[in-house]
Amino acid sequence: MNAITKKDLLSLGLCIIIYGIVQALIMTDQIGPFWQLNIVLICINIILVTSLNLINGFTGQFSIGHAGFMAVGAYLGAVLTVKMHLPFIVSIAGGALGAAILGFIIGLPTLRLNGDYLAIATLGLGEIIRITILNIPYVGGASGFMGIPRLTTFTWVFFFTVFTIFFIKNLINSSHGRAILSIRENEIAAEAMGVDTTRYKVLAFTIGAAFAGVAGTLFSHYFYIAHPASFTFMKSFDILTMVVLGGLGSITGSITGAVLLTFVSAALASYPEWRMVIYSVVLIILMIYRPQGLFGYREVSLQVFKKWSRLLGGDKDDVVKGK
């Protein structure tokens, strides 16, 4: 068994332990309904942020229309559950597939753009998706799609979050992931070396859209409703803020950014008018003092805990040497 597989198994075991602890606290009412809601939101946000980081951080593109793909997943998943009476897992798969297909169709023409042009294009496309949904009576129009059963539980969101993290991590560590990273570092050099840059940009965009669709389906099946107001530009901005805060190109950063800003939103629930002010101030400070985000390109692995245990055990020389 190679080292990467061992690390994955150890990480998976740690995730199962965390799940068991949180689930036990929920079942014994040690965690109240308010924080249960925020734990579910944290998991949904991690899926959204990690998938957007694949596009913005690892591929080096600049998309700010992620909420549009989330909306596709939320509505399509709700239609499959409410209108067609399909199982929840099929609705999640359908939401992911629908968002992926739309991401592929949109990605082909738009990902030939770069920088600010791509940002404007994805912003416009996100709003087009929202306005289109707003004018479809079949899914509730401006009133939203109501009557969605609450099928999303902590178990569902937790394991889909773990799956998202492991899928994107292993993708980045594969040969396809190296091609994606080469586009971020220098697209012209990557193309000169034979990397099909358009193909890999569309691939990353499609996969990111698919996971946004998963998050959207989980979201709508937790809050009983899918409403166009939940998928505006501000939602895309929230996701992008979490990505930038954690670090463009770091999965650990994505998790940290999602957790921190979701907790900030929960703490400021009584003062909603201050939330975006604080977000803006945090971004300004971050861009001045640490423009690469909290983690930059770095990841935190289980090796960190080993080093800390050695440090606490007094073996400082091993820590300095990085053993």
Q: Which two tokens stand for residue 185?
A: 């570092």
Q: What is the pLDDT of residue 305?
A: 46
User: Is pLDDT at 170 greater than 70 in this prediction?
Assistant: yes
- Residue 141: is its pLDDT beyond 80? yes
Q: What is the pLDDT of residue 307?
A: 52
Number of Cβ within 10 Å of residue 25's Cβ equals 14
Between 118 and 283, the more confident residue is 118
The whole-chain average pLDDT of the chain stands at: 86
Higher-pLDDT residue of 320 and 198 is 198
Does the pLDDT of residue 212 top 80, yes or no? yes
Phi, psi dihedral angles at 226 (to 5 degrees): -115, 115
> pLDDT value at position 320?
38
**Is residue 280 classed as helix, strand or coil in its secondary structure?**
helix
Question: How far apart are alpha carbons 280 and 260 in whole angstroms?
Answer: 15
Q: What CATH number matches the domain at 32-321, 1.10.287, 1.25.40, 1.10.3470, 2.60.120?
A: 1.10.3470
* Domain regions of the chain by residue span: 32-321
C-alpha–C-alpha distance, residues 91 and 80, integer Å: 5
323 — pLDDT class (breaks 50, 70, 90) = very low
| Percent of the chain's residues with pLDDT above 70 | 91
Judge whether 76 and 285 are in contact, CB under 8 Å: no
* Residue, of 316 and 262, whose pLDDT is higher: 262
Q: Summarize the confidence of residues 160-189 as an average pLDDT.
A: 92
**CA-based end-to-end distance of the chain:** 21
Residue 183 has pLDDT above 70, yes or no: yes
Say which amino acid occupies 229: A
Q: Are 214 and 164 in contact (CB under 8 A)?
A: yes
Percent of the chain at pLDDT > 90 equals: 50
Over 80: is that where the pLDDT of 35 sits?
A: yes
Report helix, strand or coil for 226: strand
- Other CB atoms within 10 Å distance of the CB of residue 162: 18
pLDDT tops 80 at residue 298: no
Q: Which of 219-228, 251-260, 261-270, 272-281 has the lowest mean pLDDT?
A: 272-281
pLDDT range class, residue 9, cuts 50, 70, 90 = confident
Q: Which pLDDT belongs to residue 319?
A: 37
pLDDT band at 318 (very low <50, low <70, confident <90, very high): very low
What value does the mean pLDDT take over residues 259-281? 80
pLDDT at 313: 53
The string of pLDDT tens digits covering residues 81-134 is 999 999 999 999 999 999 999 999 988 888 777 777 888 888 888 899 999 999
pLDDT above 50 for 235 = yes
Residue 244, C-beta contacts closer than 8 angstroms, at least 6 positions apart: 257, 283, 286, 293
* CA 141 remoteness from chain centre: 27
DSSP-assigned states of every residue in 107-155:
HHHHTTS-HHHHHHHHHHHHHHHHHHHHT-GGGTGGG-B--------HH
Question: Does 166 score more than 70 pLDDT?
Answer: yes
Residue at token pair 């040969």: 175
> Using 50, 70 and 90 to split pLDDT, how confident is the model at 303?
low
Identify which has the larger pLDDT, 107 or 164: 164
Does the pLDDT value for residue 199 go beyond 70? yes
Per-residue pLDDT, 317 = 45
Q: What H or E segment, with its residue span, contains residue 68? A: helix 66-78
- Alpha carbons 228 and 236: distance in angstroms, whole number: 13
For residue 272, the Cα-to-chain-centroid distance in whole angstroms is: 23
Q: Give the per-residue pLDDT at 321.
A: 43
Q: With a cut of 70, say whether residue 70 has pLDDT above it.
A: yes
